[in-house]
Chains A and B, each alone.
Chain A
Amino acid sequence: MNTVLEVENARVRFRSMSSVQAWIKRESDPWIDAVRDVSLSIKEGETFTLVGESGSGKSTLAMAVAGLLPASEGSIRFRGQEVTTMNGAGMMAYRKQISFMWQNPVGSLSPRQNVGALVTEPYIVHGLTERNLREESARLLKMVGLPEHFSARYPHQLSGGQARRVGVARALALSPRMIIADEPTAGLDVSVQGEILNLLNRLQDELGISMFVITHNLNIVRHISDRTAIMYLGRFVEQGPTDDIFSHPRHPYTLALLSANPEPDPDANIERIELKGEVPSLMDRPSGCEFHTRCPFAAENCAHDFPPIHVVNENHALTCHYPR
């Protein structure tokens, strides 16, 4: 299978203070790294999931991949083309091939446009006005399992699940090669969540698109994803095939995340690995292993030495001194 997206040592940073402030405070590095030294690759028709707590840099990475934020270092290649150095026209062509599903299903739809206009807006943005928009909207709504008369509705008349379907239809409009879905099931009920995931799985099987899914819901990751990466403070701490990670997590943070998942069984006897304290601030990254402040297995050298990359096999790697 061909690789669709390849990210190598990407770094995304934000200014934490102005240059004048930095000069006054004698701060030599007025930047914070929201994403640091991240590498990943997504193959055609594959689902890649990114898991991590809020503030770990998941959405920042996705936006850098979509070209909405500049990567300060590293390379992001989509089907062989470098995204970080694209000009305006190149970016326009690139964005036809990827589409973004935003986190808030209702909030990402304009309240003043009806569903028909919303799902066909991508054609207008990309100047494909020769198409029959009415037919296209009917086709797209059918694909996501909404009746045709929904094209006259406005976002406030939709339930969360229906709004999510409209978001999927909009993302499919330009027949993209890859969809980036930021928390596709956040705020949805358990049963509706299943419907949306089934829809995404079905469309992926039919159209062969790749998916880049961001979530902190571990329960769904197992069912939709081929590869998973766990992110902590802007770095990948573990990356590998989803089945391997779930059956045998090796990084202490992965272990803690998986064991924190409450089971819908009152008698479940979960052996929890509790994390101490709070997530450290990006402005003040811990020395050595960045996880050592919360790690239940931390030893002395974790506080000083940056952990080596521990390779389990060619697909599965993690950064830890003492993998489980």
Chain B
Amino acid sequence: MNENVLTIRDLSVHYGTSRGELKALRHVNLDVPKGAIVGVVGESGCGKSTLISSIIRLLAENASIPNGTIEFRNTDLLKLPEEDMRAIRGNQMSVVFQDPMSTLNPVLSIGRQMTDIQYRDKKSRSEKNRRSIEMLTSVGIPDPASRLKQFPHEFSGGMQQRISIAMALQAEPSFLIADEPTTALDATLEVQIIHLLKELQANIGCSILFVSHHLGVIAELCDYVVLMYAGEVVEQGTVAGVFHNPAHPYTEHLLKCDPASISTKSRTLPTIPGEIPDLVTLPSGCIFKNRCEYVMTRCDTEVPEWSERSVGHFASCHRSLS
């Protein structure tokens, strides 16, 4: 049971810029257990997208990976030749992106796009068509056979996103990455998509890495949660453990800031004062020290260690250790 589909150890990703090396990810550890939904939370610029791109190996050209391993079903993806990587992408591992309108090709019919991505299968066209209809039915598109002839703009936003999910799951991958799949949608549709993902995940038995900055969605959908700040994973644990007992001050702040958790009307909402540090010239010691309310002298010099607080609940902070 405790087998991991994806294990990331000590991964760093740097981007070469005119100002110097931008250290977008530093010493990231992450586990995605088999059949689990893992949420990744963090604010913009914390490296969520870099993390996804490095897992599917679609990093920009100026990126370099100085250290680390990404183990997917016991093979290190970073050592794989490009040809083998292509065999994995879309087949064993697929992605649902944020904006469904830019995922789907606007000038091809849905049916054509869904047959095109089955290029690996040596099946007849009618069989592939049947498979597409089956997938559309499973994501709840009414009257799928006639819908196949339609173009993306003829579907609503929620339906477009369901079609992208259907396409991502067509090959029954063992690992799905969902990159903020509900941000472009409204509250009622958001709930529909979450339920759909949960249901499909149970049917297919895949693991999901769910990236979002919406804490409510994470709490509802995920089993485990990973918090990222300025290119580092600062906390990881079960959803219940992290949300009820945050070990890192950043997590604590983020949970307090969410207007959804403030039930009484308030004209002044809590914020996290300060700015994210510059990732080209990193400060010494703890990355969160300039915004932390519990800052101590050792935070200034020592980088906090990634340590286990309770079973399966990790964080990197000096404070909660003592």
Contacts and interface: CB of A to CB of B under 8 A. Distances in A.
A262 B217 contact: yes
B272 A262 contact: no
Contact of B270 (A194, A243, A260, A262): A194
A271 to B, nearest CB: 12
Nearest to A56: B186
Contact of A262 (B213, B216, B244, B271): B216
B261 A265 contact: yes
Nearest to A53: B186
Contacts of A192: 43, 271
B243 A265 contact: yes
B158 A278 contact: yes
A39 interface: no
Interface residues of B, number: 46
B216 A263 contact: yes
Interface in A188-220: 189-195, 197-198, 201, 205, 216, 218-220
B60 interface: no
Interface string B255-281: 101111110011111111000000000
Interface residues of A, number: 42
Contacts of B269: 193-194, 197-198, 223
Interface string A248-284: 0000000011001111111110001011011100000
A54 B189 CA distance: 10
Contact of A275 (B142, B188, B214, B219): B188
A266 B219 CA distance: 5
Nearest to A188: B44
A104 B159 CA distance: 23
B216 A264 contact: yes
22 contacts: A187-B183, A190-B43, A192-B271, A194-B257, A194-B259, A201-B267, A216-B186, A222-B265, A223-B267, A257-B187, A262-B190, A262-B191, A262-B217, A262-B219, A264-B219, A264-B243, A265-B219, A265-B243, A266-B239, A266-B240, A268-B219, A268-B220
Counting from the closest, the 4 A-B pairs by CB-CB distance are: A262-B216, A194-B269, A189-B43, A264-B215
Interface of A: 53-55, 159-160, 187, 189-195, 197-198, 201, 205, 216, 218-220, 222-224, 243, 256-257, 260-268, 272, 274-275, 277-279
Given A262-B220, A263-B220, A266-B219, 9 more contacts: A191-B253, A193-B269, A223-B269, A243-B265, A260-B188, A262-B194, A262-B217, A275-B188, A279-B156
